[in-house]
Chains A and B, each alone.
Chain A
Amino acid sequence: MNIIVPIKQVPNLTDELEINGEGNNLDHEALQYVLNEFDEHALEEAVLTKESASGTVTVVGVDTTGELDGALHTALAKGADKAAKITGDFPRGTDSHTQARLLAEAIKDMSPDIVLTGVQAADDRDGQIGPMIAAHLGMPYVGVVTGVTVSGGKAVLHKEYAGGVMAEFEVSLPMVVGVQAAHQPPRYAPVSKIRQIAKTAKIDEIAGGEAAGAGSTVRRMFKPESAGHAEMWEGSPEEVAEKIAGLIRDKGLLRG
């Protein structure tokens, strides 16, 4: 079974985020990049799937930072079997439409049985990479998945809904899964092991095609502005609700 894990690197949120000079994006060059946390869960779920159902895990990503090798070596240390990077003129912050198309083109040639990727990423938060890869590949997609079990050409998926509701899906392979959380916390890869692997590992290079063009454009990006003060309303739920409705009316937020 071919298990494919598309990954992407995102700005490290433990660092101070900087806005670029134009004020419409992050200052990507000033930021440190780390692997998207949801992709770490996708990788963990992939390795767990391999361990229970056998198969090969291939990790693939668009090298937007010039530093993707580190993330790929880490993935290999955690139990992935193969690693590939898509290269080309794709700078940091490359939009998700482009990344999805590049990834889908690369994955198409890998004859995937199941594609596991993070349900979303901390950079754009639109959660579109998984569904778009599925659309490009003509495969079904299920997102917000917290558990994958594969057997006999089918995958049983646990999907989380709001309000603590869980659903179980049975989907025929091949398919794309957006992983919310793996069965167990992502394993730790000892740096000793990553450094050993970095010396010998082979990373396949895939030349990337055309950029797809972003699905949305950011007009202005700015840090949260702190201003004003909070007013605490007391009273019965009805009274408070009346005040809230009044405020919404006064601020002109109601149409018509």
Chain B
Amino acid sequence: MFQTNPTIIAIVAAYLLATVLIGVWATRRTKSVSDYLVAGRNLGMFVMSIAVFASIQSGFGVLGGTGMTFSDGLGFVTGIGLAAVLGFGLAWFLVGKRMWRLARSGEVYTLGDVAERRYRSPAARGWIAIAIVLGVIGYLGTQVQAMGVVMGSIFGIDTHTGAVIGLGILALYAIGGGTIAAVYTDAFQGVLMIVVSVVIFVGAVRVGGGLSEITTTVQSADPALGTPFGAFPAVTIACWILLFAVGAAAQPQLLTKFLMIRSTKELKWGAVTAGLAYVATMFLVVGVGLSALALSIDGEFPAVASEDEALTVFMTEYTPAIFAGLVMAAILSAIMSTGDAFATLGAASLVRDLPRAFGKRVRNELLWSRVAVAALLVASVLFALYLDTLVALLGVFGWGTFAAAIFPAIVLGLVWSRGTKLAAICSIVLSLAINFVLEIGSLYGFTPLPDGVINGAFALALSTVIYLAVSLLPGRGGARAQHQDAERERGHSYAT
């Protein structure tokens, strides 16, 4: 913990005030369920793509990424950060226009709606909703933990209190404004992250004595630290590339943005914009992570209780207060932009998808969605306190759950018309089982996979194999029978 600084507090307070004001504005604009869940389907390219980038770039990416670079070199950037950028391109190619078309086909607000339309199956909707709710709680938990670390650093309070205060502010705008509040605060927060990241990269490299000096120093401690994979096992990097390239295309906070755009032309430059924005924030991770590592090797960096504190400690110890304040605001941006997106997604699953999976409809979806957002935020605090482990590890847990459950059933299902309802349900159920058995098992020493293999990547690959294999099976569960039946029933296919 470091001493509080009035300049940092003033900048962060101004940022928090701005987000609350955007939330108030968004709440006034929110009149219907469509507004609350898909921003009235009126987003332009810039807001949509920056919101995509900001909701993907989470506390895990900024705090956890800088921490992992500080401890083990560049493997996080090459295995996760840049792979996610590849995932943006894949997402736009695979489902951009399809999702937009679905949005125009009726009241399609959630991935559960997409699943039911694609497979004509309330069960598929229900299982997708369960996957999203479980993943949302995991993901929100990581954001809460990260928020606690940052708020504690800024205001000199303990992390639990910091998490509760930060979450309270998020709740102020997320409950009232829903997706409109989320995407417009995301756009504001995303732009802030981009600008700050590039500026701080230059400053951080200077603090470390220049790129050559930093590289030479880290290589003197361990030659692997200067390489793209860092000190991470190569199999970990390979797993991350699979999980974050293919898995990025299956993150619900990304996919649902396709339902929110006003026309297809908004898609054209979206992947490029989101990708470049994400790359810009990787500058922050590389610059601060490596510079702090070099300083640590030289014995000039303060001891930190956790690698996740590397970024906040670096900014307050080595940069002017105004930059430190901006970075703190940018970190909070990363955390809150992801948090608000997930809170709304989870609420939609609870209020819309799960009841509809059982043939029920909630009467006042707008009201109950707001109640559900509040409930999820409270649940996420409890989850974060119960699973008190590293922010980065929990981040992979949430990401892997979404990737393995949603990629085969939704993304592949929309591009491959032979994918079947049975295959979708099998892949979702098994992906949840594999993820949770492996992740929870690892907490109790059950680690059946070789060292370095990422559970989420294994679950993603296996669930996709299961989806393809079951769909290709001959007989009732296989594609031929189901595809022909479905085509006859609906006249045309949503998956072509």
Q: Do A and B bind? A: no
